[in-house]
Amino acid sequence: MRAVTKIVAVRTYVATLALILVCGFLPRPAGAELRIDITRGRIEPMPIALSQLSGLQPQESQIGQDMTGVISADLERSGLFRPIDPRAFIQTPAALRSQPPRFADWRAINAQALVHGNVELQRDGRLRVEFRLWDVFGESQMEGRIYTAAPQTWRRVSHIIADAIYKRVTGEDGYFDTRVVYISESGPQQRRIKRLAIMDQDGANHRFLTDGRNLMLTPRFSPSLQEITYLAYVNNRPRVYLRNIDTGQEEVLGDFPGMTFAPRFSPDGNKVVMSLAEDGNSEIYTMDLRTRAVQRLTNHPAIDTSPSYSPDGKQIVFNSDRGGSQQLYVMDANGDNVRRITFAQGRYATPVWSPRGDLIAFTKITEGDFYIGVMRPDGKDERLLANGFVVESPTWAPNGRVIMFFRQGRSDSRGQGGNSRLYSIDLTGYNEREIITPVDASDPAWSPLIP
């Protein structure tokens, strides 16, 4: 048996990436600086001008154009920025290469922020990208960085730049340089083909990880990023599996007498917490990936499932029908001190602790409708963010500000209309966006920020 945590796979598309901060050449004036407060409810998106990253050679120019498109789309989808149509720009990318921004030109089109920069293919074959972010009204540089990377990683560099802009303007970490693993669905409902798929958070670099022969459900990322855990039906045995994303190496986790399901990693990546069903009773267990030691956490004839660790690893939230209906409970990580946190009407399910620790996202089923919501870890201050015939499987962006989930429609008697798609929504309840996938999709899991 291999030691899962010891594996160091070489990421196929990630090259080393060097970063240099660029010093501003204008002093920052005193006074309020450009800032978006994302904790507020509805926010008017900030108008931002993204001047095409400029290149001297046609190939560099093309990369600059593609990168600007990715950065612009990231910022736009966040709902916090409104990229201005470049046809309105007065100062050209070429002019920005040799001169400082002409702020009056950018104010004239109501840009509050300006991004520009240069792309160069160096003699050593590496890509060098420089960008600057300006506060147009304050006439000051807010951010300036240089990255060198392998040219084929231009998309990642674009997401990293978008994250840098997001962080500088909001004060919060970004989430654009991330991936999503999910279940791709096709075929009729009675014989649905469900396979693992992975993509960048913007839907790019999509690839299937499995061929669909085995039914696969509920993938989740390890904090190490190279591994996922999920449920697979192999030879009619539903069991929790681990898979290295890059090598495709897969192994069943442990040797349990019954179905194991609902797996999630501990925040340190050393354990998987999951349910084991024996004689019809589902209980929560952990398995240590280094020692293979198994620990039973719950002991109740009810169905105990969907466990999720708090980010400090000290507590676990799960759902159980021990009180008669499906509700949320929190226990210490060793199984002690179980307490119920939901008491409202309806059933509660799929709790997921926010990476910031301040909230728990959940699915609620009440009066025939499904909702995605958030509450504090003590069950208070419930807020419902999205609803539908079926919405399920919330997953957090690593900054704890955006939630992704899937929504399945109602199907008619011929099986039409039951499509399932991925969506993201801000914690504020605004800015719901569909994440485009090649075919139907469910069970999304957001990766941590790529290191």
Partner 1 sequence: MSATVSSSTEARRQVEKWAQWLRQYPNVTVTVEGHCDERGTREYNLGLGERRAASAKRFLTSLGIDARRVATISYGKERPAVVGSNDAAWSQNRRGVMVVN
* Contacting positions for partner 1 (CB under 8 A): 188-192, 194, 215, 217-218, 231, 236-238, 258-259, 261-262, 275, 277, 279-282, 303-306, 319, 321, 326, 347, 349-350, 363, 365, 368, 389-390, 392-393, 408, 410-415, 418, 443
Q: Answer yes or no: are the C-beta atoms of 84 and 150 closer than 8 Å.
A: no
Q: Which two tokens stand for residue 326?
A: 């499906």
Q: Which residue, 154 or 261, is less far from partner 1 as judged by CB? A: 261
Say how far residue 444 (Cα) sits from the centre of its chain.
9
Secondary structure class of 394 (helix, strand, coil): strand
Give the nearer residue to partner 1 in terms of CB position, either 7 or 302.
302
CB of 349 to partner 1, least distance (A): 4
Report the residue number, 130 or 392, with the smaller CB distance to partner 1: 392
Closest CA relative to residue 232, chosen from 195, 271, 201, 266 = 195
Is the Cβ–Cβ distance between 133 and 146 less than 8 Å? no
Is the Cβ of residue 164 or residue 277 nearer to partner 1 in the bound state?
Answer: 277
**Cα torsion 438, 444, 447, 449: sign:** positive
CA 220 – CA 182 distance, rounded (Å): 8
- The minimum distance between CB 262 and partner 1, in angstroms, equals 4
N residues, the chain: 451
Nearer to partner 1, 72 or 408 (CB): 408
Element (H, E) at 64: helix 58-77
Q: Smallest distance, Å, CB 271 to partner 1?
A: 18
- Minimal distance, residue 439 CB to partner 1, in Å: 17
The strands making up 420-426's β-sheet, listed across from edge to edge, are: 390-396, 402-408, 420-426, 433-435
Residue 211: CB minimum distance to partner 1, A: 18
Contact 298, 286 (CB under 8 A): no
Q: Compute the 3-state secondary structure of the chain and give helix, strand, coil in percent, each to the nearest 5.
A: 15, 40, 45
> What's the min distance (Å) between Cβ of 139 and partner 1?
53
Q: What are the angstrom distances between the C-alpha of 324 and each of 26, 118, 297, 303, 347?
A: 66, 62, 20, 10, 10
| CA neighbor of 161 nearest in space, from 81, 220, 103 | 81
Cite the beta strand spans of 60-99 per DSSP E: 81-83
Q: Tokens at residue 116, please?
A: 């520009």
Specify the pairing of strand 46-50 against strand 81-83: parallel
Cβ-based nearer residue to partner 1, 44 or 279:
279
Tell which residue, 259, 196, 263, 195, has the closest CA to residue 229: 263
User: Residue 73 or residue 439: which is nearer to partner 1 going by CB?
Assistant: 439
Shortest Å, Cβ 442 to partner 1: 8
Do 449 and 398 touch, CB atoms closer than 8 A?
A: yes
Nearest CB to partner 1, comparing residues 152 and 299 = 299
* Intra-chain end-to-end CA distance of the chain, in Å: 28
Task: Choose between 242 and 372: whose C-beta lies nearer to partner 1.
Answer: 372
207 Cβ contact partners less than 8 Å away, ≥ 6 residues apart:
197, 198, 199
For the CB of residue 79, give the shortest distance to partner 1 in the complex, in Å.
27
User: Of the two residues 110 and 411, which places its CB atom closer to partner 1 in the complex?
Assistant: 411
Residue 226 C-beta: closest distance to partner 1, Å:
24
* Smallest gap from residue 421 Cβ to partner 1 (A): 16
